[in-house]
Amino acid sequence: YARVNEYGFIETPYRLVDKGKVTDEIIYLTADEEDKYVIAQANEAFDPETRQFLNPRVSVRYQDRILVVPREEVHLMDVSPKQVVSIATDLIPFLENDDANRALMGANMQRQAVPLVQTEAPLVGTGMEYKAAVDSGVVVLAKSDGVVEKVTSQQITIRRDDGQTDYYRLQKFKRSNQGTCINQKPIVKAGQRVIAGEVIADGPSTDHGELALGRNVLIAFMPWEGYNYEDAILISERLVRDDIFTSIHIEEYECEARDTKLGAEEITRDIPNVAEGSLDDLDENGIIRIGAEVRPGDILVGKVTPKGETELTAEERLLRAIFGEKAREVRDTSLKVPHGESGKVVDVKVFSRDKGDELAPGVNQLVRVYVAQKRKISEGDKIAGRHGNKGVIAKILPEEDMPFLPDGTPVEIVLNPLGVPSRMNIGQVLETHLGWAAKTLGIHVATPVFDGATENEIVEFLHKAGLPESGKTILRDGRTGEVFDNPVTVGYIYMLKLAHLVDDKIHARSTGPYSLVTQQPLGGKAQFGGQRFGEMEVWALEAYGAAYTLQELLTVKSDDVVGRVKTYEAIVKGENIPEPGVPESFKVLIKELQSLCLDVKVLSEEREEIELGDDEEDIQEMAKELGFELEEPLLEREEPGEAPESEDFDFAGEEDEEAEGEEDMLEEDEDEAYGGDEGEDDSYGEDEAGDEAYEEDESEDEVAFVDEDPAGGDETLGDEDEYDRIDEEIS
């Protein structure tokens, strides 16, 4: 309704009110001008004939205050109540019946809706769907009046009234920035007359020019065997089978051929050490063909990178001597389909510096491959209504097992009624009732925000449709045919499938990359990382006394470098898993303390020093155990002289006692501060003693794994190649 005036200020229209009567005269005011007037709300009731306000006292706003004044004192009246909300909020029917927090969620989640293969406009809308779709720019509009001459899936031809011809090319299966599919479909027929500005082709998430983010589904509010506990959602197999919530997702993969200091990378079909079968779908240049079905690990673009000079074998030296040529030293750096991804190749784009394409410095060739996949709705996907009523699908039930209506129609979704009272989003219940009536009458209804259908109007609609006025009906159990105890609220709700799809989130790892500093697995799906087991999770396992589980989580599954290699080997060979060693994080802590000039030593129960070896020493130790003889030690160092035993140990003992004393004091302080219970404190202390005993036991075991003292030694790493060679031999 607003417009921009000649000075660049936004003006909005108001209706003039004269002595309590609403006139048809409209004036436009800027924000500072409207401060002088008393303004009534747009939905204030007035008599259509006399134009007089029905209520003698009217709710108005004056400057920044909301007042109630006699109707004669009103100067102006708003033209629409929806000017105060955004486009997304304006798409929520019965917004006035929803709590603000849930309305906010509903507005935000509409932005996350995935475009579906089959679109459907909502049965219960607000009247803004058409405007939102047209202004979004995803639909195709006729530029001028004319008659449609020809329609294909790719192009629409319109003969204009002035005899000229307009051609409208449609976008087909393009990738959006969110990885969803942009596809335009014609909605006009040959011979049809169109006017300028009319929608002639639908885009993603539109239906006949109206915004269509989701689907109208038949829902029932009832618990079902605990499968909709805590906002979980139970759906019918029909939604999967009939592609009700099916969407297309397109992933983009990129491969660059760069200049390296050893020579240029090359995109080629000739890849070393690759089975011929895995090259079947590649063309002569090593790029995958369009239409190929790909699975995780399949090659999309073959690429080789030059390798540095390496030690030649006797055979290679002989070949070199005979033919005088250098053996082709390249390694395979092909672009492969990542873990958990699959689909069909729908497009390939090749850019090359030779063809004059603009590429980043050092890049000679760039290949982009687009892989599409059709995703049906599945367990773990997130779906939501427009009232912030979101949930995750917990179970997909056969159609015949779903609860069914008296006429035999099975419901499609079962929602938990406990999702309504505490959330205070009553809009979903009103939408359910009105949607049921609209579906039965075969119409679409618009209920604008702050000016929508009243409760009485909804009851009237249900009555007109021949449905129970309570909006409830008797349901029967699909498995037994027995009637449920109470009547159940049933109706149609507009549900959206959101971008949080389980296929993008599911992730598993056995071994993978480790952080250089901590030697712990990286985090996140993108890095193929592990699951974070944090401080509080450790407490949970400690509370249940799951000592062995906890030990392996903190050692061989994390940063016990040697232990994890041995464990992997033991599993592969089917042997018993060895005792865990010292975690790398503990060694890093010791190193950090040593860097602060604190000569920290680790003592066993018998007060004997436990020597923490370096990685190289660990590897030597491991090689010895596995029966390899290493030619020379990786790290040359002198044995540090023995410290006088008595002094050293006495000092350590004193320090220990001090530390213990401090700890006791700390515990007391803490308890005073928190008003702790005496009894609790005692039990906590006992637990700690138990922990100490556990640690001491552990330290005894550690002796078997370490044999050299790091203190005072040279901490540089040894020969990298030797390290790699042992690693290879072991693995």
389 and 457 share one domain: yes
Enumerate residues 6+ apart whose C-beta is below 8 A from 256: 265, 360, 363, 365, 366
At residue 653 the predicted structure's pLDDT band, cuts being 50, 70 and 90, is very low
Q: Are strands 181-182 and 174-175 parallel, antiparallel or unpaired?
A: antiparallel
Task: Check which CATH number belongs to the domain holding 380 and give it.
Answer: 2.40.270.10
φ, ψ for residue 183, nearest 5 deg: -145, 125
> Tens digits of per-residue pLDDT, 484-518?
999 999 999 999 999 999 999 999 998 899 998 88
H or E element that contains 395: strand 390-397
User: Do the domain assignments include residue 188?
Assistant: no
At residue 681 the predicted structure's pLDDT band, cuts being 50, 70 and 90, is very low
Name which residue leads in pLDDT, 51 or 490.
490
Q: Is the pLDDT of residue 585 over 80?
A: yes
Residue in this structure with the two tokens 């709705």, named with its chain if needed: 377
Residue 349: count of CB within 10 angstroms of its CB: 12
User: Do the domain assignments include residue 651?
Assistant: yes
382 and 370 share one domain: no
User: Do the domain assignments include residue 467?
Assistant: yes
Whole-number pLDDT of residue 20: 83
- Least confident range from 198-212, 628-642, 715-729: namely 628-642
Name which residue leads in pLDDT, 141 or 618.
141
Distance, CA of 690 to CA of 696 (rounded, Å)? 10
Integer CA distances (angstroms), 607 to 589, 603, 707, in order:
20, 5, 16
Q: Are 395 and 380 in contact (CB under 8 A)?
A: no
Q: Can you state the angle between helices 678-702 and 645-674, rounded to 10 degrees?
A: 150
> Domain ends where: 478, 506, 534?
506
Q: Are 573 and 551 in contact (CB under 8 A)?
A: no
Name which residue leads in pLDDT, 667 or 535.
535
H or E element that contains 491: strand 488-497
Question: What three-state secondary structure class fits 260?
Answer: strand
Question: What three-state secondary structure class fits 333?
Answer: coil
Burial tier of 269 (Cβ tally within 10 Å: 0-12, 13-18, 19+): middle
Whole-number pLDDT of residue 704: 35
Closest Cα partner for 303 from 276, 340, 335?
Answer: 335
H or E element that contains 199: strand 199-202
66 and 122 share one domain: no
User: Do the domain assignments include residue 205?
Assistant: no
Name which residue leads in pLDDT, 108 or 714.
108
Whole-number pLDDT of residue 276: 83
Task: Check which CATH number belongs to the domain holding 59 and give it.
Answer: 2.30.150.10
DSSP annotation string for 428-447: HHHHHHHHHHHHHHT--EE-
Q: Are strands 266-267 and 303-306 parallel, antiparallel or unpaired?
A: antiparallel
Name which residue leads in pLDDT, 517 or 177.
177
500 and 421 share one domain: yes
Q: Are strands 124-125 and 445-446 parallel, antiparallel or unpaired?
A: parallel
Closest Cα partner for 432 from 495, 496, 492, 494?
Answer: 492
613 and 479 share one domain: no
At residue 623 the predicted structure's pLDDT band, cuts being 50, 70 and 90, is low
> Tens digits of per-residue pLDDT, 8-48?
999 999 999 988 889 989 999 999 999 999 999 988 888 88
Task: Check which CATH number belongs to the domain holding 287 and give it.
Answer: 2.40.50.150
b/e burial code for range 150-185 (CB count within 10 A of at least 16 → b): ebeeeebebebeeeeeeebebeeeebeeebbbbbbe
**Cα 693 to chain centroid, rounded:** 44
User: Do the domain assignments include residue 287?
Assistant: yes
Q: Are strands 57-62 and 232-236 parallel, antiparallel or unpaired?
A: unpaired
In the DSSP assignment, the letter for residue 98 is B
Q: Is the pLDDT of residue 671 over 70?
A: no
Q: What is the mean pLDDT of residues 538-548?
A: 97
- Total domains in the chain come to 4
Q: Are 493 and 412 in contact (CB under 8 A)?
A: no
Question: What three-state secondary structure class fits 400?
Answer: helix
Q: Is the pLDDT of residue 698 over 80?
A: no
Q: Is the pLDDT of residue 573 over 90?
A: yes
Q: Is the pLDDT of residue 662 over 70?
A: no
Distance, CA of 683 to CA of 671 (rounded, Å)? 13
Distance, CA of 60 to CA of 38 (rounded, Å)? 6
| Identity of the residue numbered 234 | L
Distance, CA of 697 to CA of 580 (rounded, Å)? 13
Q: Can you state the angle between helices 455-464 and 427-441, rounded to 10 degrees?
A: 30
387 and 328 share one domain: no
> Tens digits of per-residue pLDDT, 381-408?
999 999 999 999 999 999 999 999 999 9
Integer CA distances (angstroms), 453 to 59, 78, 95, 570, in order:
21, 20, 11, 70
Q: Which tokens in the block code for residue 529?
A: 């990382």
| Identity of the residue numbered 620 | Q
At residue 220 the predicted structure's pLDDT band, cuts being 50, 70 and 90, is very high
Enumerate residues 6+ apart whose C-beta is below 8 A from 169: 154, 155
611 and 486 share one domain: no
* Backbone φ/ψ region at 243: left (φ over 0), alpha (ψ -120 to 50), beta: left
Q: Which tokens in the block code for residue 131?
A: 């405007």
Percent pLDDT > 90 in the chain is 67
Question: What three-state secondary structure class fits 731?
Answer: coil
Q: Are 393 and 232 in contact (CB under 8 A)?
A: yes
Question: What three-state secondary structure class fits 307?
Answer: coil
Q: Are 565 and 591 in contact (CB under 8 A)?
A: no
Q: Is the pLDDT of residue 678 over 60?
A: no
17 and 46 share one domain: yes
Q: What is the mean pLDDT of residues 229-243?
A: 97
Domain assignment of residue 288, given as a range: 247-375
H or E element that contains 332: strand 330-332
Q: What is the largest CA-CA distance in the chain?
A: 111
Percent pLDDT > 70 in the chain is 83
> Domain ends where: 461, 486, 506?
506
Q: Is the pLDDT of residue 660 over 50?
A: no
> Domain ends where: 347, 375, 403?
375
Distance, CA of 102 to CA of 419 (rounded, Å)? 11
68 and 101 share one domain: no
User: Do the domain assignments include residue 189?
Assistant: no
Question: Helical H runs in 173-299?
Answer: 238-241
Q: Which tokens in the block code for residue 501?
A: 């799809």
User: CA torsion sign, 285 to 349 to 501 to 404?
Assistant: negative
Q: Is the pLDDT of residue 643 over 80?
A: no
Q: What is the mean pLDDT of residues 423-435?
A: 96
Q: Is the pLDDT of residue 682 over 70?
A: no
User: Do the domain assignments include residue 140?
Assistant: no
Distance, CA of 386 to CA of 391 (rounded, Å)? 12
414 and 488 share one domain: yes
> Tens digits of per-residue pLDDT, 53-105?
988 999 999 998 999 999 899 999 999 988 889 999 999 999 999 999 999 99
59 and 125 share one domain: no
b/e burial code for range 466-505 (CB count within 10 A of at least 16 → b): ebeeebbbebbebeeeeeeeeebbbbbbbbbbbbbbeeee
Whole-number pLDDT of residue 723: 54
Q: What is the mean pLDDT of residues 408-422?
A: 96
User: Do the domain assignments include residue 564?
Assistant: no
Distance, CA of 711 to CA of 671 (rounded, Å)? 38
239 and 101 share one domain: yes
> Tens digits of per-residue pLDDT, 332-368?
999 999 988 999 999 999 999 999 899 999 999 999 9
Average pLDDT for the chain: 85
